[in-house]
């Protein structure tokens, strides 16, 4: 992340509220199940290395009840044969649920007491409430979201160039991209108000064994930038887009740092399709689209790229989004929207 802040968003209160709801649901669920649980409890005794089950009835006053003719329950319980295993399981579940219920009620009480005393102070709001003339004179511990986004988008960088024969495809905002699928992704992100950088360079560790044919060149998966995919066929005699380990000029885009293809860890510049900003949590999320999954060579390269991202701390569902398409199944803006919302990118 290019911008440093001294204060992170206070997420404790919403986390506590979510925990209260979770505990309340758990308590309600266990109370409901205990209403239908059998009377008594389960006692287990080992006999010749095997467990034996006994049903211990609930304690009664001396003399027993009218229903059982005044008989007093056996302290050790009544033997439960293996044929009545479901009854034993229901007794065991009852005792477990009672323990869970007691613990959940205790936890809920503790959380609610804490929330009664917890008075979160909106530290970030102090800067927001200042007059503009004062804001210009201080360095805030946390920027306003709008200012943070402005600074993040203002960071200058050099992406990849375009081959001379690359189709000219543009987003609604006038930004040039490499495929119709990237147009869909970019326009959907813009519509949802999600800031992004197209083909922003990231320095990542790569395995030397993954390098392309020329020693010292970047791995082909590090080329960055999606080919036109299903939108066009690669020119004769050329590889398409990122499947090549070289730039249009013939030099590698992300030359590994001074090591040969010997299996050692190296660094290379990687150009993911999109680097998105999670404004609320101040984190960057890589969005990579794979548009030629029908090609065995492309699929193998896709696996190598996935491994590289994970080894560099980018994990699907956390800070990495991967979308795919084939000739028969193109990408849809609906799918892009669902993925963006599930990752919390929409605020």
Q: What is the DSSP string of 298-312?
A: HHHHHHHHHHHHHHT
What percentage of the chain has pLDDT greater than the value 70? 78
Output the CA torsion sign for 230, 232, 235, 236: positive
Of the ranges 172-186, 204-218, 279-293, which one carries the lowest mean pLDDT score? 204-218
Domain ranges of the chain: 12-117, 156-342
28 Cβ contact partners less than 8 Å away, ≥ 6 residues apart = none
Cα angle, residue 67 at apex, residues 64 and 69 outer, rounded to 5°: 60
Q: What is the mean pLDDT of the chain?
A: 81
- Nearest to residue 115, comparing CAs of 23, 26, 25, 30? 23
Q: What is the pLDDT of residue 214?
A: 29
Burial 257-288 (b: 16+ CB within 10 A, else e): eebebeeeebbbbbbbbbbbbbbeebebbbbb
291 touches 255 (CB < 8 A): no
pLDDT tens-place string over residues 102-117:
999 999 999 999 988 8
d(CA 317, CA 237): 38
Answer whether residue 71 shows pLDDT above 80.
Answer: no
Angle between helices 180-191 and 333-342 (to 10 degrees): 50
Instruction: Sort strands 320-324 and 283-290 into parallel, antiparallel or unpaired.
Output: parallel
What are the residues whose beta carbons fall under 8 Å from the beta carbon of 72, sequence distance 6 or more?
A: 60, 62, 63, 64
Measuring CA to CA, which residue among 323, 320, 347 is closest to residue 335?
323
What integer is the mean pLDDT of 90-99? 96
Give the best-scoring range by mean pLDDT among 87-91, 203-207, 291-295: 87-91
Q: What is the DSSP letter of 210?
A: G
Question: Nearest Cα to 339, choosing from 202, 189, 165?
Answer: 189
Could you tell me the pLDDT band of residue 121, with boundaries at 50, 70 and 90? confident
pLDDT, tens digit, 9 for 90 and up, residues 15-59: 999 999 999 999 999 999 999 999 999 999 999 999 999 999 986
Quick one: average pLDDT of 139-150?
90
Supply the pLDDT for residue 73.
61
Give the per-residue pLDDT at 78.
Answer: 94
């Amino acid at each position: 992340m290019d911008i440093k802040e001294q204060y992170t968003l206070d997420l404790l209160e919403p986390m506590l509220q979510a925990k209260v709801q979770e505990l309340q649901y758990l308590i309600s669920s266990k109370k409901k199940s205990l209403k239908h649980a059998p009377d008594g409890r389960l006692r287990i005794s080992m006999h010749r290395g095997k467990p034996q089950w006994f049903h211990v009835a609930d304690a009664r006053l001396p003399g027993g009840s009218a229903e059982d003719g005044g008989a007093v329950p056996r302290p050790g319980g009544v033997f439960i044969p293996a044929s009545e295993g479901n009854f034993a399981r229901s007794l065991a579940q009852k005792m477990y649920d009672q323990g869970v219920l007691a613990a959940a009620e205790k936890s809920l009480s503790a959380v609610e007491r804490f929330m009664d005393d917890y008075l979160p102070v909106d530290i970030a709001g102090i800067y927001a409430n200042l007059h503009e003339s004062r804001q210009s004179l201080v360095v805030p511990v946390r920027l306003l979201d709008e200012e943070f986004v402005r600074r993040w988008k203002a960071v200058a960088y050099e992406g990849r160039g375009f081959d001379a024969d690359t189709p000219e495809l543009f987003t609604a905002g006038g930004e040039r991209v490499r495929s119709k699928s990237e147009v869909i992704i970019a326009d959907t992100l813009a519509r949802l108000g999600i800031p992004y950088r197209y083909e922003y360079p990231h320095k990542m560790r790569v395995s030397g064994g993954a390098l392309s044919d020329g020693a010292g060149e970047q791995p082909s998966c590090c080329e960055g930038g999606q080919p036109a995919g299903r939108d066009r066929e690669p020119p004769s005699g050329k590889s398409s887009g990122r499947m090549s380990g070289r730039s249009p000029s013939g030099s590698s885009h992300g030359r590994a740092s001074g090591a040969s293809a010997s299996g050692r860890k190296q660094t290379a510049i990687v150009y993911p399709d999109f680097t998105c900003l999670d404004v609320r949590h101040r984190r960057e999320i890589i969005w990579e689209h794979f548009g030629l999954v029908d090609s065995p060579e492309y699929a193998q390269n896709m696996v190598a790229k996935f491994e590289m991202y994970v080894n560099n701390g980018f994990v699907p569902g956390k800070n990495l989004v991967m979308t795919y398409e084939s000739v028969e199944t193109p990408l849809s803006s609906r799918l892009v929207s669902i993925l963006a919302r599930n990752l919390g990118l929409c605020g």
